[in-house]
Each structure stands twice: as structure tokens, then as C-alpha cells.
Amino acid sequence: MTIHIGAEKGDIAPTVLMPGDPLRAKWAAENFLSDARLVNQVRGMLGYTGTYHGNPVTIHGSGMGMPSLSIYVNELIRDYDAQTLIRIGSCGGMQPKVGIRDVILAMTATSINTPSAGIFKEINFAPCADYGLLSAAVEASKSKGAKTHVGGIYSSDVFYDERPDLNEQLTRHGILGVEMEAAELYNLAARYGRRALVVLTVSDHLQTGEALPADQREQSFGDMLEIALEAAFA
């Protein structure tokens, strides 16, 4: 048990999937895990542990943004010895070739700032995915027939962005999409020697203004979740 996680020792599996929304964690556990049980609900942040094809899995919310994710990932690793952490969530597309419902596998994560900036000081650290997880996710997405892009994303700490100049340069340099957590997850995985990956569904597009209707988001989220689970145990 930690300050933010009420689970007992042994309640958290070595493999943890992390959606931002705790209600997505509940939905994912109920629909994809066998024998799922609630292991955390401190401050409304829900976590469930069950099995996927016989493999123990925890699905635990991270909250929105890098500071929130940093709290949970630090505690999951330091106090519960989590070994593999996969963020599953939505993002905004930033390239013409990236469409709504497409899957993005984040090979790298660019950011202006992260909670780790005080540790890195003058170092411009390059956060990246675990290659084994990344390559397994590529194969899993192929088997599902999901349109998938692999490359760099941008982790923003501002939801209501007023920097069209920044978005222009990110797009110019090939950034596939924008979200708010990946860079810090990759920082922490590198620090503690753990495996990490970010699997995203494109729910809206910064260039076209197109957005995925609410009633279609669950199915797209399910495809992404299956890719993450298959990659974790490949």
C-alpha cells in the first residue's frame, strides 16, 4: 500500500496497462480480463487485476498529464515491482497520412518539459520505447489488420494549446500525434530499467478537425487494447 495506491503486495501484476481514464480501466478489465478484481480505488483512480490468456495483468488508470502518470508509475515500479508498463490511450493526429481510428505506436516522445526535467538538468534526454515491445506490437497490429503508424509523438503538458508555431514545427519534423503522458513513462522506464510502450488510437485530428464519434470510441479502444496485451506476452 502506498500514498496513492491501496493495493496490497501481490495485488499488482508484473504487467500493467495504463489508460488515463480510470473508467476506461474498469471497462477494459471487465471486457478483456478473466477473474478481474478491484485492487485500488484511492482518490477514484481505479485499478483491476486479472488474467489474459492465463497471464496476470493489472489495468490501472494514470490520470491526465505527465505529473499524474509519474506518481502512479513511480509507485507501481518502486513499491509493486511492475516490470512492463504500457500506456493505452487516445491522441490527436498531426500528419496528413494519419487518419481517425488509426493506431500509433510511439517509438519516441518529444516534449518541452517533463517531471524528470529537474533530474536531467541540462541533458536533453531522448525517451524511447522498449524495442521488444514495439516490434511485438507491430506484429500484433498486422495480425489484426489495424492501420498502424510507428514513429515519434509529442507529449504536451498543455491541453488548450495556443502555439500554432509549435504545432507547425512538430508536423514539419514528422511527429505523428500529440498526447500528454508518454515522455514521462519512457523516462521512468529508462531510469528503473523496465519495459515500456505507448499504444494510441487517433481520436481527433489537429489539421482536419475531424473527431471520432463517442459511440465509436469503445471499439477503437478495444483494438488498441488487444494489440497492447498481445505485445506484452509475445
Is-contact 108 152, C-beta < 8 A? Answer: yes
User: DSSP per residue over 23-65, as a string?
Assistant: HHHHHHHHHH-EEEEEEE-GGG--EEEEEETTEEEEEE---SS
Give kind and range of the element (H or E) at residue 96.
none
In angstroms, the CA 201 to CA 21 distance is: 14
User: Residue 187's closest CA among 133, 234, 139, 124?
Assistant: 124
List, by residue number, the catalytic residues.
204
List of residues 6+ apart from 32 with CB closer than 8 A: 52, 59, 222, 225, 226, 229
CB 115 within 8 A of CB 66: yes
Return the DSSP state at 8.
P
User: Residue 60 and residue 185: Cα distance in Å, rounded?
Assistant: 14
Residues in CB range of 113: below 8 A, 6 or more apart: 157
